[in-house]
């Protein structure tokens, strides 16, 4: 998936605007290549106890983290980090999302990309 927007609403829930993307392994660099989809973006809620697991640097906050290290953040903090990114980078960063039985995102993991 790619995300083009994230926000926390007045009800305290975090929402993501997402669309499918393709991922494939770049074996030369041991990273993911993300190919954004062309579908319309869909809004999905995150569960209140969801975690965003970031495996690639978002600004300086996680610089120096090992590629294999997953750094967990609550949904509201993920919104802050995502909104600090240049919007031109959104399509190149991919995420694996896990949904529960009612369609809420319970886990979000960024895919390592140089």
Q: Within the chain, which residues score under 50 in pLDDT? A: 57-68
For 58, the 3-state DSSP assignment is coil
Label residue 32 exposed, middle or buried (CB < 10 Å: 0-12, 13-18, 19+). buried
Contact predicate 36/17, CB 8 Å: no
For residue 76, give the nearest of 7, 27, 20 by alpha carbon.
Answer: 7
Give the model's pLDDT for residue 58.
41
Contact predicate 22/54, CB 8 Å: no
Give the model's pLDDT for residue 57.
43
Question: CA 80, CA 96: separation in Å to the nearest integer?
Answer: 19
Q: Is the pTM of this model over 0.85?
A: no
Question: CA 85, CA 10: separation in Å to the nearest integer?
Answer: 23
- Calculate the CA dihedral of residues 56, 52, 104, 6 and round it to 10 degrees: -70
Digit-coded pLDDT (tens) for 1-33:
999 999 999 989 999 999 999 988 877 877 788
């Amino acid at each position: 998936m790619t995300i083009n927007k994230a926000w926390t609403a007045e009800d305290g829930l975090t929402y993501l605007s997402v669309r499918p993307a393709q991922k494939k392994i770049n074996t030369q660099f041991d990273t993911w290549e993300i190919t954004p989809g062309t579908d319309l973006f869909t809004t999905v809620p995150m569960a209140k106890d969801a975690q965003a697991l970031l495996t690639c640097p978002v600004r300086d906050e996680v610089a120096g983290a090992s590629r294999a290290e997953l750094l967990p953040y609550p949904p509201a903090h993920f919104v802050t980090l995502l909104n600090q990114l240049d919007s031109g980078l959104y399509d190149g960063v991919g995420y694996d999302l896990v949904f529960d039985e009612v369609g809420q995102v319970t886990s979000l993991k960024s895919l390592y990309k140089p």
